[in-house]
Amino acid sequence: MKKRKLGNSGLEVSALGFGCMGLSFGFGPATEKQVGIALIRAAVERGVTFFDTAEIYGAYTNEELVGEALEPFRDHVIIATKFGFKIDENGKGAGLDSRPEHIKQVADASLKRLRTDVIDLFYQHRVDPNVPIEDVAGAVKDLIQQGKVKHFGLSEAGVRTIRRAHAVQPVTALQSEYSLWWREPEQEILPTLEELGIGFVPFSPLGKGFLTGKITEETKFDAGDFRNTVPRFNEENRKANQALVDLVGSFAQQKNATPAQIALAWILAQKPWIAPIPGTTKLHRLEENLGATAVELTPDDLHRLNEATATIAVQGARYSEGAQKMIDR
């Protein structure tokens, strides 16, 4: 597995990380614990060193799973987790909370669940409009000085917020959605990250599964799958968006690869400081995703792919209206 450095921070991670959320949360019933542990350890055995979780996933259960799975390999892996939500007694998100005292409480609790004495990368999960970002960055700076955290990250933050945070405590990485069917970060985010020397960690690099070509207008999601609430995944929009999947599939055939591998290879080819974190619950999908690191896209390939996909207007918002309100602009 090739390695990459997230910006100027020196934090080195595998070119492809592993987004662990779906093992516990978001896509229907949680994966059985031992199956999840086995899959995470299989990723380690195949060279993955970068694992992403959050206290809200579950809630709490995903951190516990990741902590147990990675405990034997702790010195060889990078663990990223997140703070920033209130969590009620039922384990559900109950709004945002990035008050400095709350951030420090979350850090202590996450350290225990992750079975570690330091969090490698600690992201603010969503920007809290009620707490100045300078206070958030200052709280994480304190945690770094105390040796509880190594690196500070932001998620779904806008350019102004990134700059303000970075001035207080250098931001190692921004995590936001980015893929062939969500390219908005190219407009302002990527140039800003390059200027400031901040790494980029795209989540949903396979379009929440859509770019794999395995989801059609007939696909029925589990009742607990959050894609049921995403406008982009309603039946009408899936039908309209199939054109993009067909194009990627056609390109994949030419390169003797799968659509998922082309989608991931495209992201990897954008910048050397980008490390996407696709997630899966299946070993064969993990192996397929990792195969993307061996797919070489030439400048001509990228030009043709960009030119072709630019003609396709993706239909539907990427979040429900409620979730969209938590995105910083």
Distance spanning both ends of the chain, measured CA to CA = 35
Yes or no: say if 231 and 316 are a contact pair by the CB < 8 Å rule.
Answer: yes
Active-site annotation holds for 319: no
In this structure, are strands 149-155 and 3-5 parallel, antiparallel, or unpaired? unpaired
CA 213 to chain centre: 20
Active-site hit among 57, 60, 123, 178: 57
Half-sphere exposure of 203 (CA within 13 A, CB side): 17
Q: Which residue has the tokens 């994966």?
A: 31
204, 17 in Cβ contact below 8 A? Answer: no
Residue 247, CB-side half-sphere exposure with 13 Å CA sphere: 20
User: Which amino acid appears at position 83 of this protein?
Assistant: F
CB atoms < 10 A from the CB of 31, how many? 19
Please, which residues have CB within 8 angstroms of residue 301's CB and are 6 or more apart in sequence? 251, 255
Instruction: Tell me the three state secondary structure of residue 92.
Output: coil
Return d(Cα 259, Cα 210) in angstroms, integer. Answer: 10
Token output for 189: 């985010």
Which ranges of the chain would DSSP assign to H, the alpha helix? 33-45, 61-70, 100-113, 133-145, 159-168, 189-196, 235-254, 259-268, 283-290, 299-309, 321-324
Tokens coding 185: 């970060």
Q: Count other C-beta atoms under 10 Å from residue 62's C-beta.
A: 26
**Catalytic machinery residues:** 57
